[in-house]
Every structure is written in structure tokens, then in C-alpha cells.
Amino acid sequence: MSKEITRLFDFAYYQLEKYNLDKAFTVKNNGEWISTSSQDFINKGNAISRGLLKLGVKPGDKIGVISTNNRTEWNILDFGILQIGAVNIPIYPTISKEDYEYIFNHAEITHCFLSDKELLIKANAIKDKVSTLKDIYSFDEIDGCKNWNEVLKLGEDESLQNEVEILKEVVIPENLATIIYTSGTTGRPKGVMLSHKNVVSNVIDCLPKLPLEKGNFKALSFLPVCHIFERMLHYLYQYSGCSIYFAESLEKIGENLKEVQPQFMTVVPRLLEKVYDGIITKGSELTGIKKMLFFWAVDLGLKYEPYGKNGLWYEAQLAVANKLIFSKWREALGGKLETMVSGSAALQPRLARVFAAAKMPVMEGYGLTETSPVVSVNMIEGGDFKIGTIGKTIDNVTVKIAEDGEILVKGPNVMQGYYKDPEKTASVMTGDFFHTGDKGEFDSEGFLKITGRKKEIFKTSGGKYIAPALLENEMKQSRFIDQILVIGEGQKMPAAIIQPNFEFLRKWARKHHEPVSESNQDLIENPNSIKRIQKELDKGNKNFAKWETIKRFELTPDVWSIDNGLLTPTMKPKREEIKKKYQHLYNKIYEIKD
């Protein structure tokens, strides 16, 4: 069957023919779940294609699409753009207006579709500086802004469908489908060019890793669809007959899980950390035998090994823990969640263990925007799940480890290059192999492991190499630490800038009769808070050699977030932005005079 799918819009036609879902895409509007069927999706997508042609859009034109939340309109628009040979430029909603201006001009965007008033304000601020931009349309009804329904209405004229069919037929797999501007932590964003073939091959090669019955499962989508990980999965969902439900927001994800009861969802480690911390906090509030049983189950879960490797006695105890405790965890996450897939950053092994013990295994994978994105992923079947690794490489993708330990990738999923930047493209390619910038190794069973980010690994003034990601991941297991950045390049020792978990720190302060202020600044200046966090670092440091342990730290009063530019859209710390913002703390740690 897969042979007939060579372009991204083919997935929607395949779904209609094979599964014809009543609820292909479902989104919540004004408190009500509204579904779009496989047929409605194609009808609206064709109307968008015709409407775009009436607006003068030609093959190769670049259309900007920006949405605060995932929503059905995004996917319909994507389909409508791609089948007439135009190029979808998805843009992160949270970037600065300066980055908007750069991307609009660099990509030469002709039309922009955006979701809401806040994004319109940003786009309006720069539209006069973009000579190619003809018009802006919004998904929400906004005074003074054209609405995307106007394009649908233009497309009601079916006389143009023949032209759509002709354009569709001439789109070849090697054609450019999308340019994704990566939210770099330094400098200008790079435009990653992905063809239809790049992403289609990744979908088809990932399908065997999907552990669910095709045509019979629901997925909850909340990771930004402008990110290639979630977007590729949307095509995979279409291909496997899965109903997609869009979560309203990060804050409402718990509520949405209960309403939708999905079998599958994608996560980033940061979300799982928050879910786990929330569960542990609730468990801590229990008393007596209930509390004892809760933590007995957690301790058991933290020792989990796949495929019954811990023996029959362990499995018997785990069955009891599942009945008494973990069943409530599953209920809290909708009751039907069978698998989660995690990408974007390293997953703490303890989370992989405890969620697998609770019968909601997290399959950790690895990839980059430049590889469309998946390179490797764990899977339950066939003994291919190993905690602490990023799984085995997917079909048709080759990974080799360079002499310096860098992961190099070759395959049909490797990008066409960076848009308008042949030099940068050449700098990351050796023949057909793409240089990922990550360091890794294969274990004896063929599982891939990340050992650090090449650019982030630094040397102290004593000549010792430090891999900050390994230290950070260890320290974030503490409930006192929300975010942490390990620093120390060229300095005599590693140190850290830490954003505490303020909610948990306040609970601890109340319990220990410390003064509890609403001010985060007061909280982090309390000597006992500092001592308590030092204790957490001492505990984490035990797992590292003396020369790589964190010797000093400073706490920040701000919560690091996507909105204030300190986290990427997938919730990873932006190293350079954090260092810049907290230069005074860096100077204090290393006793540098301002």
C-alpha cells in the first residue's frame, strides 16, 4: 500500500479510502468537541487549494502558518497548500517580532495565516517591512483582519478543481514541501528544507514501530505542530487511521486526557516530569497505610526492567501495585493510555521505569528537524525496548559514530539543506551523512545512547571535559529543582544556575516552619532554602567523578518559560539566553567583577 504514498497530501486520500473516519480531527470550541471527518477534511482542503489559486498563489510560493494551539484549521491549510505545489512555512508563535520579520523576508512569504489576536499584533508590527507579503488571514474572528473562511468561500467555486488536480499530479516526491526555521539558541534561525520524500519516508519507516491497532485508536495532540516531530506524527496518524484530538493547552491537558481517553500521545520529558511530580505530591499528602502502600509501589516501579527481567517475585508484587496504586495513575490520565512517545530531550530513566511499571510505557526516541525527524526509537515488541537508550534506528536510516563520537545520519529523511545557505549546509554534511552535533554510542545489542551534545560539552580551565546534559538530567530528578543550567566553560569548576520548583519549595518551607513569602526572591534568599537545594546537589553529585561535580550554584527568582524566551517550544533551556539574562549570577559564581 505504501508505494502509492509519495507526497504528504496522499496520506489524507489514503485515510479516506482505507478508514473513512467520522472523527479524523477533533478540536474543542467554546466547551464543545467539534469533529471533522476524513471526507470533510479533503473537501475543505480542496476548497482551500482553490481559494489559494484565486488569490494568485502559485507552485513554489511560500505560505506562513502560525498558531498558538494545535487546531484542525492548521492541518486543512497544510493539505491545501501542499497539493498545489506551494510551500508551508510553519512558524513558532512564541518567537520575537524581529524573528518574524527575518523569517517572513528570508522565506519571501506571500500570504500568512495565523490563529489569534496576539499573533496578529506581532505580524502587523512587521508587515510593512516585508515586501512580498500580500495578505494576512486569521482563524479566529478578529475585527480588522481577513478570516480564513473568506479563502474557503472563494474556493466554493468548483470550476478550479481541475486545475488543482493538474497541479497535484505534477508534485513530485523530491519537491520542497516545507521550510522549518529552527528556534536556535544563538544567531538567526536556520531554514531547514524538507521535501515530501523526506517526511513521507519517515512516516512509512516509523509505522512498524507503532504499537497500536490501526484504524482503532485515539491520540491526544498538544506538542506544537510547527515542530516536525508532532507534524510527522499527524501524517502517521492519518496513515494509520487514528483519530486526532487536540488538547486545549498545557494547563488543561489533565482535563482533556480524562475527556478524550486516548490510547496514545506524544510527550516531552518536561511534561512527564511535571505529571510525575504532581502524582508524587498527591501521594505525599496521604497518611498511614495508604501513604506506605503508595511509596512501596513507587519504589517498586523505580526498579522496573522490561520483559520480566526482575523475576517472578517482582512481577507478582508489581501486579499488586498495579491493582492498588498504578490503576489510579492510569485513571488520572484518561484510563486508556497504552503508550507515549518521548522526544526532544533526554528522558530520565526513572520516569521510563515508573511509567512502564504502571502500564503506560514511554518509548523514547531521537531525531532532529534536519532528519524529518526520527532517527531511532524504542518499541515494546520484539525486545526492542531498553531503558536509558533512544532505541534502535528505524528502517532505511543508517547511523555511524564518527571518530570524535558524533552521531552521523544517512537516509531518505535527511534534509535538502538550509534555505539560501549552501555554506552552512556543506558544513554539516560529509557525503550523504548529516552531522547531528550530538555525541553517542551503540551498545552491544544495537541500542543507541546519547552521551552529550557536542557543542554543549565544554572544557574547564583544568582541561577536564564536562557533559552538562548528563549532570542536568541527574539534578532535575529532585523535586526542588525545576530547571538547571550547568556552566563553567574555561572556568576552574562546573557550577549551575537553577530555577527552583517554587511550589514545592513553598510547601517544604511551610512544613519546616520557615517564613513563606509570596516573593520568589525572598524564598531563594532564605539560607535554609539554599542549604536544602545544596543537599539535593550533593545527592546528585555522588553519581559523578569529583572533577565534574557541581561546586557552586545560584538560584533565579523567575520561572523559565517559552513565553519569556528562556525555553524552546519543546521546553528545553536556551543556554545562551539564560546565560545572558543571568550574567550577574555567572559573575557572582566565578567572582568576576562587573
Largest CA distance in the chain: 75
Strand arrangement, sheet containing 176-182: 146-147, 135-138, 109-114, 62-66, 87-90, 176-182, 190-195, 417-418
> In CATH terms, are 2-171+210-252 and 264-453 the same topology?
yes
Judge whether 372 and 201 are in contact, CB under 8 Å. yes
pLDDT at 2: 41
**Nearest-angstrom CA–CA distance, 257 and 246:** 10
Residue 218 to residues 232, 284, 594: CA-CA distances in angstroms? 16, 32, 55
pLDDT the model gives residue 183: 64
According to CATH, the topology of domain 264-453 is Rossmann fold (3.40.50)
What is the pLDDT, as a whole number, of residue 237? 97
pTM across the whole model: 0.87
Please tell me the distance from the alpha carbon of residue 452 to that of residue 588, in angstroms, as a whole number. Answer: 27
Cβ atoms of 391 and 204 closer than 8 Å: no
Locate the domains of the chain by residue range. 2-171+210-252, 264-453, 458-589
Q: What is the pLDDT of residue 187?
A: 67
pLDDT (0 to 100) of residue 118: 95
Give the pLDDT confidence score for residue 307 in this predicted structure.
Answer: 96
Residue at grid coordinates 481541475:
162
Domain 2-171+210-252 has CATH 3.40.50.1820: no
End-to-end CA distance of the chain: 65
CATH assignment, 458-589: 3.30.300.30
Cβ atoms of 517 and 548 within 8 Å: the answer is no
pLDDT at 1: 38
pLDDT at 345: 79
Contact 252, 31 (CB under 8 A): no
User: Residues in the chain with pLDDT < 50?
Assistant: 1-2, 185
